[in-house]
Amino acid sequence: MNFEKKDNWSFYWSSMQRSFIERKIQTYKAKNGYAKLLQVIPGIELNGRVLEIGAGKASISQILRDRGCHVTAIDLDYNIAKTNCDKVDSYIVGNMLNLPFKNDSFNLVISCGLIEHFTLDIVQEIFLECKRVGRFVVAWFPSCGMAWKVMWNARNLSGGNIVTEAYTYKREVIENILISLGFHNVRSGSVLFGGFFTYLYIYGLSPAFSADNLAKDIQ
């Protein structure tokens, strides 16, 4: 997906939310899936200033806010932000390639189910901006297995038959992007999301931030 396709994405999103299959997927994610994703990241349970980019329903943000974090979400779509603004402390409409925040504004910057919608050059720009505003950057994205491809096609059909891009990136490719941008302590892996469906995760520290004071400063 690129930013010129925002109108199609808005229609796809609103149509998809009314579909039976999407309601089932979102119900499972809210009850089980997101908690599993959070468990694989060290220090994420600590208090801090959190930003979720491309937040959508802001489900992970809501969990972190309930744990005591001060959470800001940002999405390009006004209707999505308006519908889900009660889940976070602040929900902003804006472009994640030009985040309206000062350098090092957040202890933690997260994204979930986002980067697979963009080409690698845009993914690199996303992480570059995350590095500017955040000290600890985490991204979750679907694995590139057949189960994910089947599920994505089903969601496309249930969302008004608008086929949006969904790229299948291996974690090593995304890991290399973070390393090339100068992130420290880059780590990646996979986590069983549910049934036969897995998510990949990757995280790293901003170059200006030392791993030694992560736990101290994220509070």
Q: Side chain identity at 29, as an amino acid letter? A: K
- Residue of 47, 10, 3, 6 lying closest to 159 (CA atoms): 10
- Residue of 62, 144, 72, 135 lying closest to 104 (CA atoms): 135
**What does the pLDDT read at residue 155?**
62
**What does the pLDDT read at residue 150?**
67
Write out the two tokens for 175: 């890991």
**What does the pLDDT read at residue 219?**
43
pLDDT of 218 higher than 50: no
pLDDT of 140 higher than 70: yes
**What does the pLDDT read at residue 72?**
97
**What does the pLDDT read at residue 67?**
85
**What does the pLDDT read at residue 21?**
56
Total domain count, the chain: 1
Considering the chain, what is the average pLDDT of its residues? 79
User: In this structure, what DSSP letter does residue 67 have?
Assistant: T
Q: Which residue has the higher pLDDT, 22 or 217?
A: 22
**What does the pLDDT read at residue 113?**
85
**Mean of the pLDDT values across residues 121-134?**
96
**What does the pLDDT read at residue 152?**
63
Alpha-carbon torsion 211, 92, 61, 140, what sign? negative
**What does the pLDDT read at residue 36?**
78
**What does the pLDDT read at residue 207?**
79
Full residue range of the structural domain in which residue 106 is found: 3-217
Q: Which of 90-94, 102-106, 114-118, 126-130 has the lowest mean pLDDT?
A: 114-118
SS3 of residue 103 by DSSP: coil
Confidence of residue 122 (pLDDT cuts 50, 70, 90): very high
Q: What tens digit of pLDDT does each residue of 158-179 get?
A: 554 444 567 888 889 999 999 9
Q: Side chain identity at 153, as an amino acid letter? A: N
CATH of the domain at 95: 3.40.50.150
- Residue 18 zone, left/alpha/beta (φ > 0; ψ -120 to 50; rest): alpha
Q: Which residue has the higher pLDDT, 48 or 152?
A: 48
